[in-house]
């Protein structure tokens, strides 16, 4: 009977080795031969790696995972472009029960002591976290966090080389970056919406369309209560007001901190990478974003589609027309804090400060 079990297990393992010809090969070995607890982070909640169940706290996931006897079932949700998240408190080898310092120590131990088929040319396939007993620590530097989303974002600081030079996003593993970079490939026919007939130039645009036009209502769930929200910003506001939790996204290249991950991505792209991929067809100028290029192209055209309804002057930009309309409305919003004189345009106030208040700080401009 024992021999039959070993034969079945060997067959299953050989089948899995043929399937997982990427980082999941090593992840499966780590999960099967250690006491790590695999889990997923899905829509603001901890999720079981064996089944679809989600929980508000990691300890609940840990206790629930013990109900799944086959540890390799955790690979069911493993994806080729993502590492497997694992909890590593009191890390041990499941074969000899030796204590391990970290996952690298465990990997070498399984390879050299127990001759497990660890692939040296592949990533380790798992990302470590310390979460048990209501802890929330970085397994690399022991930094403590109040929210898992912050800890998850912090992990990028330990992998600074995996940055996409197209958009500035960073990833905790090289294979995740490689998979992400495929989303920037232009193949119009390959990026058709799965919900409707619209077709997009890139996978990024298609996914944005699906997430905004076809996303289910209230997709963002609060990890502390049963409420869910349609927009990420609404959940962030809820966390701050009712749970005293500020969701922040720090830049791992400088001290800047942002309220939204998209803001951090734009910051990395514009400030640190400065990869100008958008080329003007009329001059040598290049720009970081498509919006900057579009704004620049106005200089090469005589198109002035924004006309003033009062004096019939036309402008190339709606912003310029709005500024012009303040003249007709006598909108003197720029006020001098030294003498209370008010001006329609900011430049007029700056000129006034330089002439009449030369010692004033020009940067301090109030708007009434």
> What are the tens digits of pLDDT across the range 95-121?
999 999 888 899 889 988 988 888 877
Higher-confidence position of 147 and 360: 147
Mean pLDDT of the chain: 76
pLDDT above 90 as % of the chain: 4
Q: Please report the pLDDT score of residue 18 as a whole number.
A: 34
Q: Please report the pLDDT score of residue 329 as a whole number.
A: 83
Pick the CATH number of 250-297 from 3.40.50.1370, 3.30.160.60, 3.30.43.10, 3.40.50.300: 3.30.160.60
User: Of 41, 34, 96, which Cα lies nearest the Cα of 71?
Assistant: 34
C-alpha span between 115 and 136 (Å, rounded):
33
Average pLDDT of span 260-283: 75
Average pLDDT of span 54-60: 85
Give the C-alpha distances (Å, rounded to integers) separating 39 from 103, 183, 220, 331.
Answer: 16, 26, 19, 57
C-alpha span between 301 and 22 (Å, rounded):
51
**pLDDT band at residue 275, thresholds of 50, 70 and 90?**
low
Tokens of 294: 């579009």
**pLDDT band at residue 129, thresholds of 50, 70 and 90?**
very high
pLDDT at 347 over 80: yes
CATH 3.30.160.60 boundaries in the chain: 250-297
Q: Which of 76-85, 102-111, 227-236, 329-338 has the highest mean pLDDT?
A: 102-111
Q: Fold for domain 332-368?
A: Double Stranded RNA Binding Domain (3.30.160)
Tokens of 220: 């963002």
Q: Please report the pLDDT score of residue 361 as a whole number.
A: 64
User: Of 56, 71, 66, 68, which Cα lies nearest the Cα of 134?
Assistant: 56
C-alpha span between 251 and 169 (Å, rounded):
11
Pick the CATH number of 302-331 from 2.60.40, 2.30.30, 3.40.50, 3.30.160: 3.30.160
User: What 3-state DSSP class applies to 268?
Assistant: helix
Question: How many degrees, rounded to 5, is the angle at CA 360 between CA 358 and CA 364?
Answer: 140
Q: Which residues, other chains included, contact 44 with Cβ-Cβ below 8 Å and sequence gap of 6+?
A: 149, 220, 221, 222, 223, 235
Would the pTM count as exceeding 0.75? no
Q: Please report the pLDDT score of residue 3 as a whole number.
A: 42
């Amino acid at each position: 009977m024992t021999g039959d079990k070993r034969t079945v297990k060997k067959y299953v393992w050989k089948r899995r080795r043929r399937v997982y010809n990427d980082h999941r090969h090593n992840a499966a070995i780590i999960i099967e031969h250690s006491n790590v607890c695999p889990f997923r982070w899905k829509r603001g909640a901890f999720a079981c790696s064996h089944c679809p169940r989600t929980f508000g706290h990691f300890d609940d996931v840990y206790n629930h995972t013990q109900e799944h006897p086959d540890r390799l079932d955790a690979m069911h949700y493993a994806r080729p472009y993502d590492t497997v998240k694992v909890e590593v408190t009191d890390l041990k080898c499941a074969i000899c029960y030796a204590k391990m310092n970290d996952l690298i120590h465990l990997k070498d131990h399984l390879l050299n002591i127990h001759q497990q088929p660890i692939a040296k040319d592949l990533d380790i396939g798992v990302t470590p976290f310390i979460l048990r007993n209501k802890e929330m620590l970085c397994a690399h530097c022991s930094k403590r966090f109040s929210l898992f989303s912050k800890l998850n974002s912090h992990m990028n600081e330990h992998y600074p080389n995996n940055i996409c030079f197209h958009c500035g996003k960073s990833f905790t593993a090289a294979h995740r970056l490689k998979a992400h970079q495929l989303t920037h490939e232009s193949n119009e026919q390959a990026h058709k919406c799965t919900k409707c007939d619209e077709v997009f130039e890139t996978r990024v645009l298609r996914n944005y369309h699906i997430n905004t036009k076809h996303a289910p209502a209230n997709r963002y769930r609060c990890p502390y209560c049963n409420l869910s929200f349609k927009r990420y910003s609404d959940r962030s506001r809820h966390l701050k007001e009712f749970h005293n939790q500020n969701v922040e996204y720090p830049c791992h290249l400088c001290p800047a901190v942002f309220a939204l991950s998209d803001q951090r991505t734009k910051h990395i792209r514009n400030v640190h990478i400065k990869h100008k991929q958008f080329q003007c067809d009329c001059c040598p100028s290049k720009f970081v974003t498509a919006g900057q290029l579009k704004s620049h192209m106005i200089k090469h055209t005589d198109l002035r589609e924004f006309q003033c309804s009062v004096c019939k002057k036309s402008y190339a930009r709606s912003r310029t027309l709005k500024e012009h309309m303040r003249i007709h409305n006598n909108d003197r919003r720029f006020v001098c804090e030294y003498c209370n004189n008010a001006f329609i345009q900011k430049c007029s106030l700056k000129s006034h400060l330089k002439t009449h208040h030369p010692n004033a700080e020009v940067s301090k401009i109030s708007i009434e």
